[in-house]
Chain A
Amino acid sequence: MQEQMTHLARAGFSRESVLALSERLGEPAWMREFRLAAWETFERLPWPAPADPEWRRTDPTMFRLEGIRPFADAPAGALPASLQQVVDAWQAPAGLLLQRNSQGVRSQLDAGAARRGVVFTDLHTALRERGDLIRENFMTTCVRPDETKFRALHAALWSGGALLYVPDGVEITTPLVSLAWIDADGVGIFPHLLVIAGQNSKVTLITCAASPPGDRPGSSIDGGGPGRVEGQAFADPVTELILRDGAQIRLVTLQEWGSNVAEIGIIRSVLARDAELRSLLVGFGGKVVKTNVESILDGPGATSEMLGLVFGDSRQHFDLHTLQEHRAPHTLSDLLYKNAVKDRARSVFSGMIRVLPGAQKTNAFQANRNLILSGGAKADSIPNLEIMANDLRCTHGSATSRINEEHLFYLMSRGLARAQAVRMVVEGFFAELLDRVPLDDLRARLQREIDQKMADDADGNGKGEIPTRRPVRSEERQPAL
């Protein structure tokens, strides 16, 4: 095993690495073949080019693999304090999974839920114990390896990850939590989350991806080979949600990477008849993040609420592509993305509503609001529609604005310092969204993190300072009366 590991570290991204990984994990032959086929697809597909429509606003070279290792073990021993804190932040979840670097290190599930047939475990364990379920659903119907180069790479090199399976009719009221943590330099991780919610089942899942702040991920050195890029990390996650008839999922995806992580990922859901997904994507961390969030409304009566909250600061870059695809009649999608950018951060929202022929009596709503907090920050909004049905209700709108000076004056006239007033307006901007998520602890946590992002201003480091406007004084200006 040590030999395989060394091989993996040296081989970087290669067919040999794929084979070594599969062998090391002791996988069934079909998964090895699946990985090798995906690797061939990866080699066959071209790298994204700046001219590709999906890549017009994000430089593809930000996702270089040079110096990145496709696998890194979780260090043995107790969790470091910073990670322990991340784990402890979740109070009494019904289940908790922790992936550290490329490996699952913790897996727990409420005994009652387990008795009722719920499976919540890392994907390798699931592959051994529920191989049939994985073989049928893993990158077969929802996300496929041949969609893009990075998806193929994920299919070839996935590790860690999680399976959440909720049997028909089972309802779990307490949230399940799945955490991913990077603290090895130069690692690339490929976590795969597969959620299968049976008929009329109900579950809440919170995923949280995080790594130490600062320019380097942690201090843990576990055998990085020469040539690795110090302090860079790469994440290529895929989330597949399969909602059977009448299934209800509430999903929160919390992204809190340190400032050295580049992420390119997708969250896609396929909803059968009367299924209901309520999702919230939160983007706080990372250096450059390109995420697709897609809902496929495949059965009549399906509903997808898609909320997004992004707050970029420093030089962060967020590129979000959303898809609301209506394939069946009487379906509803309701999307609201609120992005705030500060310092020299940039956000891109590109949203597509697609209504296929026959998807009549559809309601599709899309709204994107952006708040620009600094002169050097930028937010783009690109709504798209492809409507092939003729009996539907569809609205889309976007608005990008700077912070409203009249609002600030009102708050300041009551004694709030400017930075305090700005913070309050920003909190208010996000409140409309957070008020739609009935998870009190989570809301309080997000509120704190938003405050933290704003606090840089209050400290007067000047990065995101909004120029103060005061009345022009008589000494300064003497007009002819």
Chain B
Amino acid sequence: MADLEIRDLTVQVEDKVILKGANLTLSKGEVHALMGPNGSGKSTLANVLMGNPFYQVVKGEVLYKGQDLLAMSPDERARRGLFIAFQYPVSIPGVTMSSFLRTAVSARRGYDKELMPVGEFQKLLKQKMDELKIEPAIVSRYVNEGFSGGEKKRAEILQMAMLEPEIAIMDETDSGLDIDSVKVVSDGVNRMLERAKGAMGILLITHYSRILHFIKPSYVHVMFDGRFVVSGGPDLAEELEQSGYEGIKAQFEVIAAEVQAEGAVRRAGKVFWVAH
């Protein structure tokens, strides 16, 4: 059984349906890249998996290690090893990074009443910050407040490194980063994968294939209009890099029209449509 199974997931925000029956299975030890044009539903999927209350699941289910993920509160998901690196992390005035991180790591590691001992925490924090080339001063600042775009993304990856998730969703972590920062972030993620020795899986959401040169995916999926429409190996990313989303879009429109007319399962070129 896969560690994460998404079945026919249909999600709406207010009255707009964003995800229209998404299906995906992902296990620890795997890196799945999820690509697709803006507005295709990638971020919605990420947020729903983490339990963002602004999104409403109207149909489908998600099993995490065999259990109903959607019935869990966001904090329970996190404590059980799910993580999301947000595309747009919010800033929280007055809360310092260090106190936030210590509380979060303590929660993840099952400290109940007390927090993790401060010495142990500091040591861990310093190690992770060195690895990610993060300025130490950042921890005494308020969470994400006044951070540059790059600082925010690195801070997300720092949290990921500190929390040691089993399944991590990275939502466009590479957007807005210069190439050096992409390298630093990718090195950090690769180090995590290496250390986890198969105990961590990643859903790597990206608009561009650039980061896939540094973090090698085992699978690549393309999302279009709220559905997974193409799945393949790493070569799919290269293909997309050359042809863009236009080729897929044309194929998608062909079968969308046929499904509309006949209600059948179709395939046009690489693009498929699975009805449930």
Contacts and interface: CB of A to CB of B under 8 A. Distances in A.
Interface string A75-93: 0000000000000000000
Contacts of B74: 409, 412-413
Nearest to A433: B94
A460 to B, nearest CB: 14
A368 to B, nearest CB: 16
Give the interface centre of A406, A409, A414 by most chain B CB atoms within 10 Å. A414
A428 B95 contact: yes
A420 interface: yes
B79 to A, nearest CB: 5
A424 B103 contact: yes
Interface in B119-155: 142-143
A72 B187 CA distance: 72
B95 A431 contact: yes
Interface stretch (A175-183, A353-361, A466-474): A466-474
Contact of B95 (A406, A424, A468): A424
Interface of B: 10, 12, 17, 20, 48, 50-61, 70-71, 73-75, 77-79, 83-84, 86, 89-90, 92-96, 99-100, 103-104, 107-108, 142-143, 159, 163
B107 A470 contact: no
Given A410-B90, A413-B50, A425 B73 contact: no
A428 B94 contact: yes
A414 B78 contact: yes
Contacts of B50: 409, 413
A406 B99 CA distance: 19
B78 A412 contact: yes
Contact of B57 (A417, A427, A473): A473
Contacts of A473: 57, 70-71
A404 B53 CA distance: 12
A407 B17 CA distance: 25
B53 to A, nearest CB: 4
A415 B75 contact: yes
Contacts of A29: none
Nearest to B80: A415
Interface of A: 404-407, 409-418, 420-421, 424-425, 427-432, 435, 468-474, 477-479, 481
A129 to B, nearest CB: 46
Q: Which 5 residue pairs spanning A and B have beta carbons closest together?
A: A428-B94, A431-B94, A415-B107, A414-B104, A415-B78
Contacts of B53: 405, 409, 469-471
A444 to B, nearest CB: 13
A474 B60 contact: yes
Given A478-B59, A479-B12, A425 B95 contact: yes
A406 B83 CA distance: 16
A159 B168 CA distance: 66
Nearest to B89: A410
B48 A470 contact: no
A413 B73 CA distance: 9
B93 A468 contact: no
Give the interface centre of A406, A421, A428 by most chain B CB atoms within 10 Å. A428
Nearest to B86: A410
Contacts of A430: 94
Contacts of A431: 93-96, 142
Given A420-B107, A430-B94, A471 B56 contact: yes
Contacts of B99: 424
B93 A429 contact: yes
A418 B74 CA distance: 9
A481 B159 CA distance: 38
B56 A472 contact: yes
Nearest to A474: B59
Contact of B159 (A414, A418, A472, A479): A414
A2 B217 CA distance: 90
Contact of B52 (A409, A424, A468): A409
A416 B57 contact: no
16 contacts: A406-B90, A409-B51, A410-B86, A414-B163, A415-B79, A416-B75, A416-B104, A424-B95, A427-B95, A428-B142, A429-B93, A430-B94, A432-B93, A470-B53, A471-B51, A477-B58
A412 B103 CA distance: 11
A288 B17 CA distance: 50
Contacts of A479: 12, 17, 58
Contacts of B20: 481
A404 to B, nearest CB: 8
Contacts of A406: 90
Nearest to A429: B94
A420 B92 contact: no
Contacts of B75: 412-418, 421
Contact of A428 (B57, B84, B92): B92
A416 B50 CA distance: 13
Given A471-B56, A477-B56, A415 B104 contact: yes
Contacts of A468: 73
Nearest to B75: A412
Given A415-B104, A427-B94, A432-B93, 6 more contacts: A410-B86, A411-B100, A413-B51, A413-B52, A415-B163, A424-B92
B169 to A, nearest CB: 10
Contacts of B95: 424-425, 427-428, 431
A417 to B, nearest CB: 5
B94 A407 contact: no
Contacts of B60: 474
Give the interface centre of B53, B54, B70, B74 by most chain A CB atoms within 10 Å. B74
Given A409-B52, A432-B94, A474 B103 contact: no
Given A407-B92, A415-B163, A471 B57 contact: yes
Contact of B55 (A418, A471, A481): A471
Contacts of A413: 50-52, 74-75, 77-78, 83-84, 86
Contact of B92 (A405, A410, A418, A469): A410
A404 B93 CA distance: 11
Contacts of B84: 413
A476 to B, nearest CB: 9
B199 to A, nearest CB: 18
A469 B54 CA distance: 9
